């Protein structure tokens, strides 16, 4: 009589995993007690939230000029910061790659990336507001720093994961360092870099609406002023506009990835966006 083949358990039990789970549950309970989280506070919050959402609707789009001005400034901040950040992050990420550069070059470059990633963009925006004053320039500089940290780290990791066989093949031809990068490194990381860049643009679109709260330009300043005036119907209009802006950015990012990665044309994009006709249900004879 044959016995069924036994397979190793993909999730083996370990006493340490149980200890970690118990420790996590205990810490969650401890943290809730320290932060005075209770069901009574949740009930009060739900009641306040119901009154707040009741005052949000219907949205008020009467001040369309002010709304458009803030959105336009947020878009400009995101595009400029993304462009400048990506341009600066590429050489820094290259210098930080340990498979191409010596340690005395990689460590300073990695230090720059770590410093750029150490603080939230809002905190960096506060510092730049103190340095250059209120306005869009502070937001551009803050999001540029954030872009350097994000793109630099991911670009470095992408370069470190490439196959060195292609690099050595280009070097064997006697090519220069620039040619080695162009023909040995860039083709292996190009598709991933396009994904990083489009994601960073999307992230900067979202963050550009946040840095304005601290005076770094964009729609965030308009949103904060509306909250201070208890102008909640205008707040709802601003929130809807921000969601629309982020959705438009996502559509643009998808189109850019399709063009550069899938070699799609504008005609292909239009055919993808066109709704497909519904298939008729087949009837049995």
140 or 162, which is more confident?
140
268 pLDDT band, cuts 50/70/90, is low
Sequential DSSP letters for 151-208: HHHHHHHHHHTS-HHHHHHHHHTT--HHHHIIIIIHHHHHHHHHHHHHHHHHHHHHHH
Q: What is the mean pLDDT of residues 181-192?
A: 79
Residue 85 CB contacts under 8 Å (≥ 6 apart), including other chains: 143, 144, 145, 146, 147, 148, 151, 200, 204
43 pLDDT band, cuts 50/70/90, is confident
Residue 281, pLDDT > 50, answer no
154 pLDDT band, cuts 50/70/90, is confident
Residue 125, pLDDT > 80, answer yes
Q: How far is CA 21 from CA 26, 35, 114, 200, in A?
A: 9, 21, 31, 35
Residue 2, pLDDT > 60, answer no
The label of the residue with tokens 């996590």 reads 24
Q: What is the pLDDT of residues 104-120, one digit of tens each?
A: 888 998 898 888 888 88
Residue 283, pLDDT > 50, answer no
136 vs 138: CA distance, rounded Å: 5
261 pLDDT band, cuts 50/70/90, is low
Handedness of CA 18, 21, 27, 30 (dihedral sign): negative
Q: What pLDDT, on a 0 to 100 scale, did the predictor assign at position 264? A: 63
> Quick one: which of 138, 149, 153 has its CA closest to 215?
138
Residue 271, pLDDT > 80, answer no
> Domain coordinates of the chain in residue numbers?
64-263
pTM (2 d.p.): 0.75
CATH tag for 64-263 (out of 1.10.3720.10, 1.10.490.10, 3.70.10.10, 3.10.310.10): 1.10.3720.10
12 pLDDT band, cuts 50/70/90, is low
């Amino acid at each position: 009589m044959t016995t069924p083949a036994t397979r190793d358990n993909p999730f083996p039990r370990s006493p340490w995993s149980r200890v970690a789970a118990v420790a996590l549950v205990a810490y969650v309970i401890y943290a809730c007690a320290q932060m005075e989280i209770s069901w009574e506070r949740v009930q009060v919050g739900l009641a306040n939230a119901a009154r707040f959402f009741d005052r949000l609707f219907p949205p008020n789009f009467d001040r369309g000029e002010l709304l458009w001005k803030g959105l336009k400034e947020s878009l400009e901040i995101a595009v400029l910061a993304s462009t400048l950040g990506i341009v600066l992050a590429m050489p820094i990420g290259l210098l930080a790659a340990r498979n191409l550069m010596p340690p005395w070059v990689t460590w300073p470059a990695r230090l720059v990336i770590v410093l750029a990633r150490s603080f939230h963009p809002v905190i960096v925006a506060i510092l730049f507001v103190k340095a250059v004053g209120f306005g869009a320039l502070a937001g551009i500089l803050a999001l540029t720093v954030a872009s350097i940290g994000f793109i630099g780290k991911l670009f470095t990791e992408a370069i470190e994961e490439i196959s060195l066989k292609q690099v050595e093949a280009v070097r064997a031809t006697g090519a220069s360092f620039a040619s080695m990068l162009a023909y040995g490194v860039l083709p292996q990381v190009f598709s991933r870099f396009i994904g990083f860049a489009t994601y960073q643009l999307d992230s900067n679109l979202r963050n550009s609406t946040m840095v304005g709260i601290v005076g770094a330009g964009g729609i965030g300043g308009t949103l904060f002023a509306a909250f201070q005036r208890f102008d909640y119907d205008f707040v709802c209009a601003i929130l809807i506009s921000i969601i629309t802006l982020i959705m438009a950015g996502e559509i643009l990012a998808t189109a850019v990835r399709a063009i550069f990665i899938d070699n799609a044309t504008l005609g292909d994009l239009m055919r993808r966006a066109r709704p497909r006709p519904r298939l008729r249900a087949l009837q049995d004879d």
